[in-house]
Structure 1
């Protein structure tokens, strides 16, 4: 008969506990989920008697068989044999894989849970058909997880497997839901093999309408995240980067038509995460300025990140003082783990330009973000293209808040770029291309830097106190000049490809 070919895209792990299932019938919930598009079902029940397990598994197998979906039994090889289903999933504390294979035969699917590279390599060497990798995040449905990987840990494990066992199938599990699964799949694929699917428990089992939720989740798994700009795909921007001044002129003109204040932003200062769901629908961008790092603040940051990721809005993370204390370092890691960030803004004065370029490029590839590192020469990269912007003035470093203002400027340009791309796509003028966020960041750096230079040259500027209002004035004047088609200021742009 042969082993079935499996689509691991949307992998459902059942939960029969009242806290998740409630008073509903598990078989009915699974049937609805399969009709909605679940591609694999794992029956997991650690408490029921064997007779109940067999009866339930038979009922589930009758449903999954009708839809061509494999049914796997968690841990219990005996139940899988009794039912004649497609295979089992075993954990590190369950029956060992070689024994399970002897009992089940070569035609059955055997998946193994792995939370470390050693566990994953061993399972692959022993002939596992797929790996369940996690927990990605902590979860209430399984409290005995040995290791919470986070996106960075998942990415490192997948990258290693891409070299040692490129054919192994993988699903990631643990704390995944509609608000984060696209980000996890996108960011964990950096420089390695992407996960073949996501394994979900409460996101489907506890859903009010399991069929509709499964359909929605499968669409999310199979579609690119809303926050990924199509113009950033391979080969889309190399030529534009070489002729960056003409690109800047075109992009800035688009921005200028949509801006209202000095740099084109209409700011709302909000510290309450519950507002983010509504704010994210307004078409703007989110700036996470890591000021307060209390647990309450971090929770508010996380809520805002989830809302803007789901809406596809640009996010700028300014890791203020991230290296100063262990509390801030941990807070920065927490924020990075909580959401996809379009770009980070931070400064470094101790590394050479080449070292900074290498660091920023590597970080951008790893995180699949646009990364900005400010300094005397700003460096910005999306992992494929790295540019240096030499505009600016030393006075910018003599007043407080310019880094925060730069983050706001970048967010305004990113939001305007996204809006312009969406408008072009809707009208048919721009096809399906999304915003080139690297160019948006570079354009913002140039505008900010040129405004800083012009402010310092003014006769009315005598020091830091008079410099700040002059900077705001020059940002406003550049916008006004651009709206009128006067692009002379752009001749001052100092941008080079690294």
Structure 2
């Protein structure tokens, strides 16, 4: 029987250079996160490959996903990819990446989550749940909308957007499989301490995810 647990994904911000990201991640305890996403929209494929190689060497135990850039993901054999609104769909991505690659899709509604499942995604990322600096001027969708998505989705739902250790349990109560954070880690004075706080809240298992994830 698979372990029912909530997951934690870290996502790079696109506002830091590789050396700064490496310095922050160098102190991360082994096993303290479930996936690291390289989300650097302004960088080309060659640079993304360089990031992957450096971060994989630094964190050989952590699955490293590449957001959007399927060319770079295929070049390095990334174990996972995250698709956005302008990316290729899950079916096309599967043809390029193969059956073993975990494919995530960013969604904003229950309908989009169901469609992602029909097209062969493995999980969905829903947000933004709370106010966040990365989505200035856009109203948060809130935990009620998150619950609608988790109820409708046949896939694990990972929540994103303004999630802090203080509101993790509220998010989990909506039935999601875990959380993804950017500035909640990369923008902190004590990122490792913050990471451990997330893990503590996720480990309380105040609720059971409606779908299992990895």
Structure 1 length-normalised TM: 0.39
User: Which residue number in structure 1 is paired with residue 141 of structure 2?
Assistant: 149
SS in 2 for 1:148: coil
For 2:151, the equivalent position in structure 1 comes to 159
Alignment-derived partner of residue 15 in structure 1: 13
Q: CA deviation at 1:22?
A: 8.3
Counterpart of 2:194?
A: 213
- Residue of structure 2 in register with 1:178 after alignment: 165
Tell me whether 1:26 sits opposite 2:21 in the alignment: yes
Answering whether residue 90 of structure 2 is matched by residue 97 of structure 1, we say yes
Give SS of 2:27's match.
helix
In structure 1, stretches of 5+ residues that fail to align are 189-193, 229-498
Change (3 A) 1:60 1:34: farther
The 3-state SS of whatever aligns with 1:106 is coil
> Gaps spanning 5+ residues in structure 2: where?
208-214
1:199-221 Cα offsets, whole Å, 9 max, x none, are 01101111222222211211111
Contact 2:79 2:102 in 1 (8 A): yes
Deviations 1:6-52 (A, max 9, x none): x76111111131xxx48961123233345471111111101123322
Identify if the C-alpha distance between structure 1 residues 23 and 62 changes in structure 2 by more than 3 Å, giving closer, same or farther.
Answer: closer
Q: How many residues in Structure 1 have an aligned counterpart in Structure 2? A: 205
Q: Deviations over 1:290-336 (max 9, x none)?
A: xxxxxxxxxxxxxxxxxxxxxxxxxxxxxxxxxxxxxxxxxxxxxxx
Give the Å deviation of 1:136.
0.8
- Tell me which stretches of 4 or more aligned residues in structure 1 moved more than 6 Å: none
Offset at 1:141? 1.8
For the 8 Å contact 2:6–2:202, the answer to whether it is kept is no
Match for residue 309 of structure 1?
none
**1:142 Cα offset (Å):** 3.7
Give 1:96-495 correspondences, 5 Å limit. 96-143=89-136, 148-161=140-153, 165=154, 168-186=155-173, 188=174, 194-223=175-204
| 1:92 positional shift | 1.9
Give the Cα separation in 1 of the matches to 2:119 and 2:29: 31
Give yes or no for contact 2:36–2:63 (8 Å, CA) kept in 1: yes
Shift of 1:120: 0.5
Taking the aligned partners of 1:177 and 1:157, their CA distance within structure 2 comes to: 20
Query: Could you tell me how far apart the structure 2 residues matched to 1:144 and 1:49 are?
Result: 28
Equivalent residue number for residue 54 of structure 2: 59
Distance verdict in 2 for CA 1:64–1:144, change over 3 Å: farther
Find the structure with the greater CA-based Rg: 1
Aligned equivalents of 1:8, 1:83: Cα separation in 2? 27
